[in-house]
Structure 1
Amino acid sequence: MVRLIIAAGTMAAISVGLMWIASMLFNSLLIFGGSTIQTVLVFGFYTYCVLTLAVPSEHKFFYVLSIPILSQFLHLYQKYDFPAGANSLWRLLPFILADLHIISVLVRFKTNLSAGEKSAVASWIAVNFLFILISPNLPGIITGAFVLILLTLPLYFCYLNMHSECPSFTKDLERSLCLLFLILAFGTVGLVFFGAQYKGASNLLVTRNISDTNVTMAYFILLWPFALRYAGYSARTFLLTTLLVLLFTVVVVLSFSRGAVFIVLPYLLVTLLISNNLKQAGWFALVGTLFGADFDSLLQQINADLAYSWQLRFADFQTAAPAFQKLGDTSGRAEIRDLAYKLFLENPLYGHGIGSFEVLGPGYREAHSMFFTILAEQGLIGMLYQYALFVGLGYCLYKTAALGRHYLPLSGAFGAYLLFVHSVGSVWVVIPAKSLTINCIAPMLLICMYYYSKSICKPIVMHG
């Protein structure tokens, strides 16, 4: 991983350096963005995408996988100084560059899609194309929906299929996603402390727009088993696993997401136990018990602004009412889901179309539940189709788990993800008409899980 970090860091430094020089030579570039630094870093990221995708490298696989995750930070750094929303080419450009690279690869190399996988890709494009077309929010999402749903995800599916034929695929995937876990963790912690100094409307923390807390937490859930697997192969397994656990815990706590605290922390402990990381699990439980006893006071001593935000999110959870009941009551999720169900009843067969809840609902992009969001937007047809895909993936992960308990965290991650997106917030393809961030990380990571599982089970099938 050290070589990968050095290679990626070098490319990032070269990209930013080139744009810094360009900004000094061409002052007209500075009309973009709110400051010189912002302009240089935003254009530096675009340069980074071009260089990493165009220049031959042994780390190309990582670069392709990293673009959606790194784009999360780009979008936040762009703020509203660059056009927001799913139709903004400023925000879609990294995905378009990745798509062009994947197309060039697929033209030169053949994929080995099975008949079922070809049917899945074809049906995905056809079904989602129809649900996009009927959306009343079409003018606000059409470009992003077509790029992310109809182009990027099918291309990543084919790209991962091609790479899954390589003998080193599982190790490459574990290393790449472990590094992305670290990048996402350090970046999120940085955003928390950066946002803690504000208490106004632009507060990245209190308004829970830390790359959208609920969305980001779902990404951590899906990345975690790959990071844990890579740490198990490391020469310093105990140290790396401990670092990963510490980062994950800090991210969950400082996310100020009630759903994350009540779902993800138990998930973290369980995965450590079933992976035989008993030392880390013991330390995690002990330290969690000690610090949790008086966490408010401890956080007040570390950072008063963070303590303020923690109280803002958890003050209503001091009474004896069940946590999950209060989670729904204090967040208004029950009323939002009732509205989604009413929208479903208006058009139960095929719903109102992708992105429709943003304009037909109370202004949120989703109903804080994947089930109710799909029900409102895609009706019974979309619900049956989507959950059929989940059942198929679940079956693959079940077969993988049967090969050994060290593969159980994959199934655990999938289960925790489903629990999270059905109780806290729908995290699928993020294409709001006006918001800062757009992305397709969650389905991309689920595709990674599918091919990882398939690659592990393949030798068993071959020797049948």
Structure 2
Amino acid sequence: MARLIVAAGSMSLLSVGIAWLILLLFDSLHIFGGSTIQTVFVFGFYTYCVAVLIIPSEHKAFYVLSMPVLSQFLHLFQKYDFPAGANSLWRLFPFLLGDLYMLSVLARFKTDLSDIEKSLIASWIAFNFLVIAISPNLAGIITGAFTLFLVTIPLYFLYLSILSQHPSFPATLERSLCLTFILLALGTFGLVYFGAQYKGASNLLVTRNISDTNITMAYFILLWPFAISYAMRSAYSWLAAPLLILLFLLVVILSFSRGAVFIVLPYLVASIWIMSSWKQMLWLMVPAAVLSAGFDNLIPLINPDLAYSWQLRFADFRTLGPSVRNIQEASGRAEIQRLAYELFLESPIYGHGTGSFEMLGPGYREAHSMFFTILAEQGLIGMLYLYGLFAALGYGLIKTTAPPRPILPVALGVYLVFVHSVGYAFVIVPSKSLTINCIAPVLLICIYFYSKTIGNDPVPTAHG
């Protein structure tokens, strides 16, 4: 891990330095952001993407897998200086670079796909092509939808199938996604911290950041099995595992996500129980005990303005029973989902197409529920197809996952609970908002190949 951090950090600093130097020489390149600092970091990230994909490195898997996560924060950092929506080439640029790299890998190495996997790729491309083509929002999403659904996700599947042929694949994947987990956590802290200063009538940014952290929590759910697995087998597991648990607890608290509190905290406790003996569990629960003891003073200590955001989200949820009953109504989700169901009734067989809910519904990019979003956009055919994929993945995890890894099917189950109750975090291709991404499908593909690889080999290569 240390070598990976040093390598990635060095490339980041070098890229930002190159961007800063080029901007000093060519003042006209300040189109990349609203301020000089913003411009340097945005241009530096594009430089980083090019450099890490071109320069030979033993950490290429991390660079490719972390790019969607890093791109999410780039989009928010860019704010409104670049055109919003999935058709913005500036926002798609990191994905296009990654696609080119994965194509180069496919040109040099052969995949070892089964007939079922080949059929899956073909059906995915054909199905998504059709639901994209019928969308009334096609002009607003066509570039991003075709890129992410029809190119990027299939390429990640093929790329990971090649990586999985190497004996060190499980350990490499754990290490790469553990660091990605840490970076995602740090980025989430930044979102909440800088958004907390906006209060009252000017709380647009804090509201948007809360929305972003709600969606981000789904990615933490899928990343967590890899992060905790890496930490538990580390030479310093006695320190690494508690620190990761503490980090996850802070993410849950500072995300101000009600879904995180009611869904993710039990998941975190369950994962600790699954991955450890009772003695280890007592030790690993120390961070939770420390955090609970000092919770009342934690948020004001970090930033007094954060207390406003916490109050904004949880003031009406004093007890567990009323909280669970009132979340849908208090958040407006019940009305949004009613509109999604009405759209389904208008076209129940194949729906209205990808991205149609944003245009035909109340203006949100999804219905805060996988079930209702798929109903409205893809109809009964989409329901059967997508839920069939999740059922097949779940069956495969239960069937092939080695005894120390029951956390994987648990992670999938918790993810499904989350996307049905909090927000449909899958492929994000809006025509208006900033973030464009396909993090969740990439992580689900990682889970598939990881479980397939460790089927009869429960202990990946040791690492320190």
> What TM-score does the superposition give when structure 2 sets the normalisation length?
0.95
- Gap runs ≥5 in structure 2: 459-464
Aligned to 2:310: 310
Aligned to 2:110: 110
2:131, 2:218 → 1: CA distance? 24
Deviation, structure 1 residue 123: 0.2
Matches within 5 A, 1:61-80: 61-80=61-80
Whether 1:34 and 2:34 are equivalent positions in the alignment is yes
Write the deviation string for residues 390-415 of structure 1: whole angstroms up to 9, x where unpaired: 011101110234x31x2011111111
Aligned to 1:435: 433
1:103, 1:439 → 2: CA distance? 19
2:415, 2:164 → 1: CA distance? 23
SS of 1:353 mapped into structure 2? coil
Contact residue 373 and residue 424 of structure 2 kept, 8 A: yes
Aligned to 1:344: 344
Matches within 5 A, 1:48-87: 48-87=48-87
Aligned to 1:20: 20
Deviation, structure 1 residue 235: 1.0
Counterpart code for 1:437? T
2:9, 2:319 → 1: CA distance? 48
1:429, 1:157 → 2: CA distance? 15
Aligned to 2:412: 414
Whether 1:235 and 2:241 are equivalent positions in the alignment is no
Matches within 5 A, 1:94-109: 94-109=94-109
Deviation, structure 1 residue 199: 2.1
Aligned to 2:461: none
- Gap runs ≥5 in structure 1: none
Write the deviation string for residues 362-418 of structure 1: whole angstroms up to 9, x where unpaired: 1111111001100110000000000110011101110234x31x2011111111100
Contact residue 196 and residue 204 of structure 1 kept, 8 A: no
1:210, 1:204 → 2: CA distance? 10
Contact residue 427 and residue 439 of structure 2 kept, 8 A: yes
Using a 3 Å threshold, how does the CA distance of structure 1 residues 11 and 158 change in structure 2: closer, same or farther? same
Aligned to 1:266: 266
Greater mean alpha carbon deviation, residues 302-311 or residues 178-187: 302-311
Contact residue 191 and residue 204 of structure 1 kept, 8 A: no
1:415, 1:255 → 2: CA distance? 21
SS of 2:431 mapped into structure 1? coil
Write the deviation string for residues 306-360 of structure 1: whole angstroms up to 9, x where unpaired: 1111111101112574322111120111111111111111110000001100011
Deviation, structure 1 residue 291: 4.6
Deviation, structure 1 residue 233: 1.5
Aligned to 1:218: 218
1:399, 1:111 → 2: CA distance? 23
1:333, 1:217 → 2: CA distance? 18
Greater mean alpha carbon deviation, residues 201-210 or residues 332-341: 201-210
Counterpart code for 1:150? L
Counterpart code for 1:142? I
Contact residue 210 and residue 256 of structure 2 kept, 8 A: no
Contact residue 178 and residue 230 of structure 2 kept, 8 A: yes
Contact residue 64 and residue 98 of structure 1 kept, 8 A: yes
Whether 1:454 and 2:452 are equivalent positions in the alignment is yes
Deviation, structure 1 residue 300: 3.9
Counterpart code for 2:244? L
Q: CA RMSD in A?
A: 1.7
1:451, 1:319 → 2: CA distance? 41
> What TM-score does the superposition give when structure 1 sets the normalisation length?
0.95
2:190, 2:320 → 1: CA distance? 34
1:289, 1:27 → 2: CA distance? 51
Contact residue 393 and residue 450 of structure 1 kept, 8 A: yes
Aligned to 1:279: 282
Whether 1:120 and 2:120 are equivalent positions in the alignment is yes
Q: How many residues align?
A: 455
Whether 1:162 and 2:162 are equivalent positions in the alignment is yes
Deviation, structure 1 residue 302: 4.6
Counterpart code for 2:299? L
1:313, 1:208 → 2: CA distance? 13
Counterpart code for 2:452? K
Report the identity percentage.
67
